[in-house]
Structure 1
Amino acid sequence: MGLFQSQPKEREGGEVRRPEVHVDPHIQTVMLERRLAALGRLEEHLRLNGYALEGNRSLTQKRYDPQDPTLKFVETEDELDFLCEGFRSRRALMSCGHAVTPTSLTNWCFKQLDDGKSRFMCGQTGCNVEWSYEEVCKMALLTPEEKKLFEKAMSSNAARANTRPCPGCESPVVRTDLFNLRVHCSVCSVNRSGSYDFCWQCLREWKGPDPRSDRCDNDGCCNQSVETLQTCPEMLLRSVKCPSIRACPTCGILQQLDNRTCKIVHCPRCKKHFCFVCLKVASYHPCSVAAPRQTSVPVWQKK
């Protein structure tokens, strides 16, 4: 018998499975370790690639529970499996409508953290929807250890979030006015013998008047987080109707509630507590009226 043995397709739980390739567990582990060691983060990548070492050398992957009624399963391709690794799980839809597996979603979110991001955006071309941290935890099947690693990276990246590369020269530029999207690049201004400003949001040369905190006049410049806050469905929380997604009033990260009764939310990014209904400082007193839908994302005023 050769090292690789292909199995025919079979139907399991109503799902047509792809042909599986069985690899000697020891060989598979060695191959995985070599690939991850080259990245310099063997332990972290091993966890966040959706694998868990069990016993001596066996490997398992994260898989959705096919009986989970809260997931919407589809038979389409895993749209975040950019390396065509064929993760062995049913595909389920994210809130933006794209299909993922828990492992591909974990990988994609880890890449965003590794790139210095502190928010999670869909990776499909043309889809800039921001996912809430709660949705990522649920759909990526994050373990307690992974959650700690994610939250630590989110906080660390957020502390450096006021620096972005200039679209003209790639030099790091600091945003000094957190309420104005227009940012000045001194390097490009010297090289071009004229003032060069760009939009902090769409990363294109600035168009239109300023100061602006919502958008510039470039086509397509918009705040996807605000759109999510404006269009998310409503829910009943403690008999009060309110949006199902809120931006943390301290740091602005999106938070989502699914079928829970406690209105107090702990933000994994800024570590603050707030009331999901009225958006005020955490209090267990009942709220009779919900705060309206947020029309802007709060800017974190770190002290």
Structure 2
Amino acid sequence: MSTTTETQSQCRRHRHKSYMCCSVRGSVCSLTLTLCVAVVCVGYSSPRALMSCGHSVTPQSLTDWCIRQLEEGKFRFTCGNCPAEWPYEEVRKMALLTENESSAFEHQMFTNVAVKELNAKLCPGCRSHVVRTDLTNLCVECPQCSCDKKQNISFCWQCLREWRGAAPRSDHCENTGCVNQALVTLRTCPNISFSEVQGVVGCPSVRACPTCGLLVEHSGEKCKNIVCPECEVEFCFVCLKITAECLETSDYFISCSSGVAPRQTRLPVRR
């Protein structure tokens, strides 16, 4: 199928925010090419073009689908109907992005990379992205603010307010209400009762992924292992070891040889 012959302005005269996708529990489901045309491109009247993966799109449906992925924090574009990843150059060409739209896409892609891969946060003062180099210290200097004001300007990585109190500290600053809610959850969540795993007693129902630190809750059903939805690493909910390591001395449905790992008091940080 050839690329669209409509002009760029014609392709966008019906721009809207209706994102055409089919998802199951947050994951885009796999569809056939026929369903792709019916679901992803429904409501779009422009001529369709074939992407490198073989699925059809219109410039507008492609633009809207990629905007949705950017708004979800992603920085790589994947087909809504198969696992294929689309190069940004292909997306820009097939979506007929204007210069302003390309700049907006690239800015958001960079922001998403900074947040997800570098664990960057926005400085509460200048709103620039800052990366924490000392993962044990909540007091973080903002290079931009320090440069502008010609003095050391720091903020709290936890409550995202101007730093108050002595530093370095790993628990909290002196701002009222500065508390790590994730650690509170890990400390106070109830224990879980596995329906199919034998011999496990006293395991918390919420764990921080040992790879990236995301809080994950186990339903108590089926095996003791779980796949983190953030980093996609599978780990044992009981001993907190990576699944492959746990299975060297245990099994999916029996207690771990090392026992139940204690409640976590610190959040792992992906390096």
Name the TM tier (shorter chain).
0.5 to 0.7
Establish whether residue 240 from structure 1 lines up as the match of residue 200 from structure 2: yes
Q: Select the residue among 126, 132, 151 that pairs with 1:169.
A: 126
Are the counterparts in 2 of residues 169 and 188 from structure 1 also a CA contact under 8 Å?
Answer: yes
1:35 partner letter: H
Match of 2:89 in 1: none
d(CA) in 2 for partners of 1:158, 1:253:
12
Unmatched segments (≥5 aa) in structure 2: 1-13, 25-34, 44-67, 86-108
Partner of 2:72: 113
Normalising by structure 1, what TM-score? Answer: 0.50
For 1:257-268, what aligned pairs fall within 5 Å after superposition?
257-268=218-229
Task: Find the residue that maps to 1:268 and give its secondary structure.
Answer: coil
Indicate whether 1:47 and 2:3 are aligned.
no
- Is 1:158 matched up with 2:139? no
The equivalent of 1:299 in structure 2 is 269
CA RMSD of aligned residues (A): 3.9
Q: How does 1:17-166 map to 2 (within 5 A)?
A: 34-36=15-17, 45-47=19-21, 113-114=72-73, 157-161=115-119, 163-166=120-123
| Residue number in structure 2 paired with 1:210 | 167
- Of the candidates 178, 187, 196, which is equivalent to residue 221 of structure 1? 178
Rounded Cα–Cα distance in structure 1 between residues aligned with 2:125 and 2:231? 32
What secondary structure is seen at the aligned counterpart in 1 of 2:260?
Answer: coil
Larger Rg: 2
Q: CA offsets, 1:176-232, max 9 Å, x none?
A: 112211111233223334221111111111112222222211111111211221222
SS at match of 1:240: coil
1:267 alignment partner AA: C
| Selected match of 2:240 from 266, 270, 279 | 279
Distance 2:231 2:73 in 1: 19
Shift in Å, 1:148 = 10
Which ranges in structure 1 are unaligned for 5 or more consecutive residues?
Answer: 1-32, 37-41, 59-108, 117-143
Letter in 1 for 2:166: P
Aligned partner of residue 116 in structure 2, secondary structure: helix
Q: For residue 268 of structure 1, report the CA deviation from its aligned partner.
A: 3.0
Secondary structure of the 1:265 match is strand
Distance 1:300 1:188 in 2: 27
Q: TM-score, length-normalised on structure 2?
A: 0.55
Percent of aligned positions that are identical: 42
Judging changes above 3 Å, is the alpha-carbon distance between structure 1 residues 54 and 111 closer, same or farther for their aligned structure 2 residues? Answer: closer
Output the CA distance in 2 between the equivalents of 1:273 and 1:287: 15
**Distance change in 2, residues 1:296/1:56 (3 Å):** closer
Q: How many correspondences in the alignment?
A: 182
4+ residue runs of structure 1 moved beyond 4 angstroms? 52-58, 109-112, 144-149
Greater strand share, structure number = 1
CA contact (8 A) 1:48 1:110 kept: no
Q: 1:146 to 1:209 in 2, by over 3 A?
A: farther
